[in-house]
Amino acid sequence: MDNTPEKTLLKLEDINKTYTGVQPVYALKHVNLTVRKGEFLAIVGPSGSGKSTMMNVLGLLDSPTSGKLYYINQETSKWNERQKAAFRNREIGFIFQAHLLLPEFTALENVLMPAYISRKMKKSHENRAKDILTNIGLADKFFSKPAQLSGGQNQRVAIARALMNNPSVVFADEPTGALDQKTSAEIYNLFRKINSEEEMTFIIVTHERDLAHKADRIIEIVDGRIIRDEFHS
């Protein structure tokens, strides 16, 4: 594996995450991980193992209690919330099981949301959004609202939104959990196509073993610790 700095996208060094309360919860314990640009990996583990916490830390949605997180050789602990938000908008795409589309907006408007948030909306952004929707089979759904689309179509819109700003990495949290087997396979194949053609890194958090075993690399978490880091040929 090539872990030279120019190939490294993100790196976790001795990451811990503790939630305080009557009884402290140790969600992540001494996690070390390096992810290269263009990888396609899955994070698996039982419910409550720390998968979602790890995704939230990696996606700069939550901060670790201790340890260091590097993105593109930049250490992130000193970033304020505005800097984190700007980096997420520019470099990170998110896809969730509940697609979280805005119901009052069309498919095209939902896909354009990252461009609106960046306050750098241009005609070229609209053209890109239309191109992405066309490439994923929704050329005739630009002006349809979520209630007018199927579950699979809404998930495709969510994928297009995640790709809008051409991120370095896409995090997909249980992206096929609410879909039937045929649609799940189509979504997975779409991820693979984007990963291959655009060399975009995909990190999929899933409890579905069949989906995980199709990834090039599996990270298994139990009780907040990585117990397996396995590469597939």
Give the domains, in start order, of the chain with CATH numbers: 5-231 (3.40.50.300)
Q: Stretch 17-27: mean pLDDT, rounded?
A: 90
Model pLDDT for residues 186-222, shown as the tens digit of each residue = 888 888 988 998 889 999 998 877 778 889 999 999 9
| Residue 135 confidence class, pLDDT cut points 50, 70, 90 | confident
Model pLDDT for residues 43-71, shown as the tens digit of each residue = 999 888 999 899 999 999 999 999 999 99
Please report the pLDDT score of residue 188 as a whole number: 86
Report pTM.
0.88
Residues 95 and 156: their CA atoms lie apart, in Å, by 10
Mean pLDDT taken over the chain: 89
Model pLDDT for residues 76-133, shown as the tens digit of each residue = 988 999 999 999 988 999 988 777 899 999 999 999 988 877 666 677 889 999 999 9
CA-based diameter of the chain, in Å?
A: 53
Residues 211 and 147: their CA atoms lie apart, in Å, by 27
Neighbours of 189 (CB within 10 A): 11
| Residue 3 confidence class, pLDDT cut points 50, 70, 90 | low
Please report the pLDDT score of residue 89 as a whole number: 87
Task: Using the structure block, give the residue that is written with the tokens 């805005």.
Answer: 102
Please report the pLDDT score of residue 120 as a whole number: 66
Task: Using the structure block, give the residue that is written with the tokens 């490439």.
Answer: 135
Residues 72 and 11: their CA atoms lie apart, in Å, by 9
Task: Estimate the crossing angle of helix 181-198 against helix 151-163, to 10 degrees.
Answer: 20
Which tokens is 38 given? 């263009």
| Residue 183 confidence class, pLDDT cut points 50, 70, 90 | confident
DSSP-assigned states of every residue in 191-206: HHHHHHHH--EEEEE-
| Residue 177 confidence class, pLDDT cut points 50, 70, 90 | confident
